[in-house]
Structure 1
Amino acid sequence: MKTGLFLGLATLDLVYLAEKPPGENQKVVAADCTIAAGGPATNAAVAFSCLGNASVLAGVLGTGAIAQLIRADLAEYDVRIIDLQPGLSHSPPVSSIIVTEATGDRSVISINATKSQVESQTINQDILTSVNIILFDGHQIPASQEIAELAQSKNIPIVLDGGSWKPGLEEILPFVKWAVCSDNFHPPDCKNSQQVFAYLSEAGIPHIAITRGEKPIKYLSKGSFGSLEVPQIQAADTLGAGDIFHGAFCHYILQDNFTNALAAAAKIAADSCKTFGTRQWIKNIQP
């Protein structure tokens, strides 16, 4: 069994299925709803665990009631939690999400980790005991930088979930082996995928991919460009698909090459879009 460390954002997601998001000063009745722990690193940790691995989530939860709901959900999926600020009394972020019934598109309002940044000196070096792979989602930059330096000394490879550019990420990039980014990931002065590939390559990252929803994945691996088709499905809910992709990628990259891992992760992510919420897909999983 492999162990993955997932460092970043933990939220509580309130997810509603509705005909459409509400307009200004409008109420909408939902057809369904679900509550689950969320955040890029969190959903990735759940996916990695459900594919037969051991997941450790490092983030800020604290002691409040919302943190207990997050803990209870993650316990169901055997995700171990390392709270980077265990004495914190304020609440983790809560995300409200509306999924459009006809398309599976989602609208999200949330607070990220800007109010709960961890100072690097709080990190315990024992956090890396028995870890085979690490994922950063960019929401805890100082902590990520310290763990990256420790990981380098222990030859533990790092995956970057590049959902969007966050100030300070440039400090972490030299430690990253695989950067799997969304089409919304725009480093400074980068306006298209070619510029993103160039920027990340110059930072020393050997393997880079850009996911683009239902469009082919673009990638650059050790100087070679390519693209990969992704499964075409009728999406019921796209929420968390990128996060699940990253968790699955961490699973497959430990046993296969870059392009095969991308293709296998894309299948898992596509399957997750066929059902409402970020957990139903797990019932039908075939690692």
Structure 2
Amino acid sequence: MKTGLFLGLATLDLIYLASKPPGENQKVVAVDSTIAAGGPATNAAVAFSGLGNAAVLAGVFGTHAIAQLIRADLAEYNVRIIDLQPGRSHSPPVSSIIVTQATGDRAVISVNATKSQVDSQAINQDILTSVNIILFDGHQIAASQEIAQLAQSKNIPIVLDGGSWKPGLEKILPFVEWVVCSDNFHPPDCDNSQQVFAYLSAAGISNIAITRGEKPIQYLCKGSFGSVEVPQIQAADTLGAGDIFHGAFCHYILQKNFTNALSAAAKTASDSCKYFGTRQWIKNLQP
């Protein structure tokens, strides 16, 4: 069994399935609802665990009652928590999400980790004991930089989930083995995928992928460009698909080459979109 460390955002997600999002000054009755821990690193950790690994999530939790709901959900999926601010009394971020029943598209309103940053002193040297792979989601820059330096000394590879560009990421890039980013990831002065590939290559990254929803994944691997097809499905819910992709990628990259890992992760993420919520796909995994 492999162990992955996932560092970043932990939220509580309130997820509703509805015929459509409400318009201005309108109420909509949901068809279904569910509550789960969320955030890019969090969902990736759950996916990594669901695929048969040991997942450790480092983030800000604290003592608030909402943090206990997050802990309970993660315990159910065997994700171990490292609380980087155990004395924090404020509420963790809460996200409200509406999934459109006919298309699986989601609308999200949330608060990110800007109000819950920790400094590098929060990192214990033992955090990397027995860890095989690390994922950063970019929401804890100072802590990520500290862990990256520790990981480098132990030859532990790092994946960057590039959902969107965040100030300070340039400090982490020199330590990263794989960048898997979305179409919304725009480093400084980058407006298209060619510029993103060029920027990340100049930062010393030789394995780069850009996911584009249901469109083929574009990649650059050791100087060679290519694309990976994504399975076409009827989506029930696209919420968390990118996060699940990253967790699955961490699982597969430990046993496959870059392009095969991208392909296998794309299948896992597509399968997750067949079900409402971010957890049901795990219960439907084939043994």
Give the TM-score taking structure 2 as reference length.
0.99
C-alpha distance after superposition, 1:116-141 (max 9, x if no partner): 00011111010000000000000000
> Could you tell me which residue of structure 1 aligns to residue 262 of structure 2?
262
SS in 2 for 1:33: strand
Distance 2:177 2:159 in 1: 6
Distance 1:146 1:139 in 2: 14
Distance 2:218 2:286 in 1: 25
Deviation at 1:286, TM superposition (A): 3.4
> Could you tell me which residue of structure 2 aligns to residue 246 of structure 1?
246
CA-based RMSD of the aligned residues comes to 0.6
> Could you tell me which residue of structure 1 aligns to residue 111 of structure 2?
111
Give the TM-score taking structure 1 as reference length.
0.99
> Could you tell me which residue of structure 2 aligns to residue 220 of structure 1?
220
> Could you tell me which residue of structure 1 aligns to residue 124 of structure 2?
124
* Aligned length, in residue pairs: 287
Q: Which runs of 5+ in 1 are unaligned?
A: none
Equivalent positions of 1:162-177 (< 5 A) are: 162-177=162-177
Distance 1:178 1:286 in 2: 28
C-alpha distance after superposition, 1:28-85 (max 9, x if no partner): 1000000000000000000000111000000000001000000000000100000000
Structure 1 counterpart of 2:217, one-letter code: I
Mapped pair 1:31 → 2:6: no
Distance 1:188 1:107 in 2: 26
Deviation at 1:262, TM superposition (A): 0.3
More off after superposition, 277-286 vs 255-264:
277-286
Equivalent positions of 1:12-51 (< 5 A) are: 12-51=12-51
Distance 1:122 1:15 in 2: 31
Equivalent positions of 1:60-209 (< 5 A) are: 60-209=60-209
Deviation at 1:188, TM superposition (A): 0.5
Distance 1:229 1:53 in 2: 26
C-alpha distance after superposition, 1:221-244 (max 9, x if no partner): 000000011100000000000000
Distance 1:252 1:285 in 2: 16
Deviation at 1:206, TM superposition (A): 1.2
Distance 2:27 2:179 in 1: 40
Structure 1 counterpart of 2:160, one-letter code: L
